[in-house]
Amino acid sequence: MCKGIYDPIPCELFIDIVIGISSVASKTATTIRFLIDTGARETMISAADATRLGFSFHDWRYWWQPVLNNTPLPRAKKDASGVGGKLKLYELENTYITIISDTNAVKERHTEHMDIVYVASPEYEHESLMGMDLLKRFKLLVDPSVLLVDLTRIEDLGPEYFVENL
């Protein structure tokens, strides 16, 4: 079980997640606060959080493209669209997302493999989003009385993941 935060004023759910990019040394893994967004299909890292992970953004023919280890990320085949319009996305492949669980006396590191996580272009100035591609692997319970969110892994549902005791 992984714990998150329920913020009742704007009625939002958050969870802190450690992102580990397989092509980058583990020392660059960074904790990012994700908004749990049941309306988003894919998990997306904001440009601000991508910068904290070691990305830079380069102007490439009138748009800003994320670059990691001198390699530009490929443009996604689709854009994100919502109330605010369309947003360019870039594909970050082979990523590990780790949620630290600290419930009662048990502390665990829960790691999920993601084939693709998207990185947003800099015009998106909001939180990183935990989309349904990751969220569908969990049961979600919101307890407003203690302002907490619980995520429990659905064990028989793929893809690759592992849990370690800390």
Strands 30-36 and 12-21 come out as antiparallel
- 139 domain-assigned: no
Residue 42 lies in a domain: yes
Query: Tell me, what's the pLDDT at 43?
Result: 93
Q: Is residue 27 part of a domain?
A: yes
- How confident is the chain (166 residues) per 10-residue block, as mean pLDDT? 79 82 58 89 91 82 76 84 76 85 71 89 87 91 86 75 75
Report the alpha-carbon distance of residue 114 to residue 27 in Å, rounded: 19
Q: Tell me whether residue 148 is in a domain.
A: no
Task: Give the CATH number of the domain where residue 57 resides.
Answer: 2.40.70.10
> Would you say residue 121 lies in a domain?
yes
Residue 34 lies in a domain: yes
What per-residue confidence (pLDDT) applies to 118? 93
Q: What is the pLDDT of residue 159?
A: 64
**Does any domain span residue 9?**
no
Asked whether residue 6 is domain-assigned, the answer is no
pTM over 0.75: yes
Residue 74, token pair as written in the block: 């490929």
Q: What is the domain count for the chain?
A: 1
Show the DSSP H helices in 28-142 as ranges: 47-52, 132-135
pLDDT in tens, 88-134: 899 988 888 888 776 666 777 888 888 899 998 888 888 999 999 99
pLDDT of residue 16: 82
Cβ pair 78, 89 in contact under 8 A: yes
Q: Give the pLDDT score at 75.
A: 86
At a CB cut-off of 8 Å and minimum separation 6, what does 143 contact?
6, 149, 150
Domain that holds residue 91: 16-130+154-165
